[in-house]
Amino acid sequence: MIGADHKDPLLAKGIIHVNANKLTLRIMLGMILGIVAGYAVNSMAPSPDAAKEIAGYFSLVSDIFLRLIKMIIAPLVFSTVVSGIANMGDSKAVGRVGGKAILWFVTAAIISLLLGCLFANVLQPGAALNMPLPPADASTNLATKSLTFTNFLLNVFPKSVFDSFASNQILQILVFSIFFGLAIAALGKKVETITKFTDDVVHVMIKVTDYVMQFAPIGVFAAMGAAISTQGLGVLLTYGKLIASFYSGLIVLWALLIAAGWIVLRERVFKLMSLMRSVMLLAFSTASSEAAYPKTMEQLEKFGASKRITSFILPLGYSFNLDGSMMYQAFAIIFIAQAYGIHMSIATQLTMLAVLMLTSKGMAGVARASLVVVAATLPMFHLPESGLLLIMAIDQFLDMGRTATNVIGNSIATAVVAKWEGELSATVEDDETVPEQAPALAHESA
């Protein structure tokens, strides 16, 4: 079974492994060419409407790539979560592993939110704008009224699993997968056929993922081309202070996450970051955690994390551990308050952080999801919802950084939990390595 050994025979033989360095170079080349092509369109197009029309063709290509990614997300999450839980052996193992993951997630979320507040207050990126309050009827055209804690809690549980699969509701799929996996684990040998089938589906979906990833450089090229064609390079200068302030905070957050990983993984955390380079670049350029999910899973298994830990913790992290997104939400709300000259006391900001801890959970790892959370939170603190229009123009560039940060946070969290559980191999490259498996868990998987 998959859970009995961290090594996937297909991965060990190199059948589905894509050379990480080559993929990194191809993605980097695609991103650079996309910027060049977008700048050429932006500067040579006869009118903004013409540039927007050409950008539409770029967007068509990037949308096709993202659809290919979304096509595989639901079956990949379902099969990997079910396989991971079924091979854990019992519900006690699920509770133990999940509890350790949630502890890490909550700690990381608190740090991310506080860091967003700190950098926004210290650097004051919106203080110089002196924007007049917008009309009361100004709108961001985002569907935010339904984003309440009550609706969020209700929407965690699927009313139809088919509906959840069709709309790629990761949290709902995760809930169903957990119940399904627990049922298989409880029935044991009575449903060996289903367990074997689920394990085989994991192999098939990883192979499909490998095919889809071959188109990543093209998708990256198109995504960058579309963004630069319509907005140009000038937008980066116009909002230079905002972008620089936010990315300064992200760099500090990366350092803290890596330092936390070093405490558990020691020097191996740097090897993990090396393996995740191509994944972070993909996430950065597409601004979609969904796009990076399959490759993240593959690289974590190459790092030595067991499949059953990876297949359980990573989807959980995509719903509850979006460190970059949480930092962005706190940062963006305070930026908007500064832009309109609205004072937010420390007590108000702490209350805002508590609200974001709830409203951000279960947020899908797709582009612009953080904007919806921010727009829903603004009215709670008497801030103009339409203030979000100030950053929507450059949100693509901010989204790139926060999405790459989400990948860093989830990859470190998964590796740390694997280490805690004794489910991390002693080395990365050696195919003959025996995992450092804890006796109790080894017994459960037998």
* Residue 249 · residue 315 · CB < 8 Å: no
Q: How far apart (Å, rounded) are the C-alpha atoms in residues 93 and 88?
A: 6
How do the domains of the chain map onto residue ranges? 10-428
Q: How far apart (Å, rounded) are the C-alpha atoms in residues 132 and 12?
A: 60
The DSSP H or E segment spanning 342 is none
* Residue 193 · residue 86 · CB < 8 Å: no
* Residue 221 · residue 37 · CB < 8 Å: yes
Q: How far apart (Å, rounded) are the C-alpha atoms in residues 364 and 319?
A: 6
For residue 100, how many other CB atoms are within 10 A of its CB?
16
**3-class SS string, the chain:** CHHHCCCCHHHHCCCCCCCHHHHHHHHHHHHHHHHHHHHHHHHHCCCHHHHHHHHHHHHHHHHHHHHHHHHHHHHHHHHHHHHHHHCCCCHHHHHHHHHHHHHHHHHHHHHHHHHHHHHHHHHCCCCCCCCCCCCCCCCCCCCCCCCCHHHHHHHCCCCCHHHHHHCCCHHHHHHHHHHHHHHHHHHHHHHHHHHHHHHHHHHHHHHHHHHHHCCHHHHHHHHHHHHHHHHCCHHHHHCHHHHHHHHHHHHHHHHHHHHHHHHHHCCHHHHHHHHCHHHHHHHHHHCCHHHHHHHHHHHHHHHCECHHHHHHHHHHHHHHCCHHHHHHHHHHHHHHHHHCCCCCCHHHHHHHHHHHHHHCCCCCCCCCHHHHHHHHHHHHHCCCHHHHHHHHCCHHHHHHHHHHHHHHHHHHHHHHHHHHCCCEECCCCCCCCCECCCHHHHHHHC
* Residue 386 · residue 138 · CB < 8 Å: yes
* Residue 349 · residue 391 · CB < 8 Å: no
- In this structure, which CATH number among 1.10.3720.10, 1.10.3860.10, 3.40.120.10, 1.25.40.10 belongs to the domain 10-428? 1.10.3860.10
Q: Note the pLDDT of residue 21.
A: 57
Q: How far apart (Å, rounded) are the C-alpha atoms in residues 158 and 175?
A: 8
Q: How far apart (Å, rounded) are the C-alpha atoms in residues 282 and 322?
A: 16
pTM of the prediction?
0.67
Q: Note the pLDDT of residue 416.
A: 93
Q: Strand, coil or helix: what is 433?
A: coil
Residue with tokens 């919806």: 372
For residue 259, how many other CB atoms are within 10 A of its CB?
10
Under-70 pLDDT residues of the chain? 1-21, 23-24, 88-91, 93, 129-149, 151-152, 234-238, 358-369, 372, 386, 389, 393, 426-446
